Amino acid sequence: MKIEEAIKQNTFKNNIQKALVNLVYTGNWLRDIHEKTFKTFDLLPQHFNVLRILKGKHPNPVSPGEIKEVMLDKGHDLTRLLDKLVKQGLVNRKTCNENRRKIDITLTEKGLSKLEEMNKSLDNNTLPINHHVSEKEALLLSDLLDKLRG
């Protein structure tokens, strides 16, 4: 569906404004699709992001500072996000043996399984990009977004 139809607006100041409106609209649209999936797992998108970050370093521990540095949404309270993941048994949090001021966060086997299950659900059910955009187009889109951020 064209952005003009989606937001019932036929004119824009220019194509840059149209692209930016479309980018915001599409970002929110994707967020809403993902949130439905995450809700079935009793998690937020930010929890999923933390689990993916930990998976990227698994089995090595990661500090909260390292997690915060690469999170997609840095606006949330990481301590609360980690508290819920610990409570659900998806991650371990312990004091580093070499530096008692540092906290080590690691993914549990249950966390690995949950992440795999969530990824399958997203791949199978909620990623319309898989059906409407080719690999080549996805790469072009990613490159354009990188260019937009400078």
Can you tell me the distance from the alpha carbon of 40 to that of 9, in angstroms, rounded to the nearest whole number?
A: 34
CATH number at residue 110: 1.10.10.10
The answer to the question of residue 30 being in a domain is no
User: In tens digits, what is the pLDDT along the chain, a chain of 150 residues?
Assistant: 899 999 999 899 999 999 999 999 998 988 888 888 889 999 999 999 999 999 999 999 999 999 999 999 887 899 999 999 999 999 999 998 888 889 999 999 999 999 999 988 887 665 666 678 888 998 999 999 999 889
Query: Which amino acid is present at 83?
Result: D
Burial of 113 (0-12, 13-18, 19+ CB in 10 A): exposed
Quote the domain boundaries for residue 132: 43-149
The answer to the question of residue 10 being in a domain is no
Q: What is the pLDDT of residue 56?
A: 96
Count of domains forming the chain: 1
Can you tell me the distance from the alpha carbon of 10 to that of 25, in angstroms, rounded to the nearest whole number?
A: 15
Can you tell me the distance from the alpha carbon of 65 to that of 102, in angstroms, rounded to the nearest whole number?
A: 10
- Quick one: how far is CA 117 from the chain centroid? 15
The answer to the question of residue 21 being in a domain is no
The answer to the question of residue 120 being in a domain is yes
Q: What is the pLDDT of residue 74?
A: 83
Residues near 54 by beta carbon (within 8 Å), at least 6 away in sequence: 62, 67, 91, 105, 106, 107, 111
Q: What is the pLDDT of residue 128?
A: 63
Q: What is the pLDDT of residue 125?
A: 62
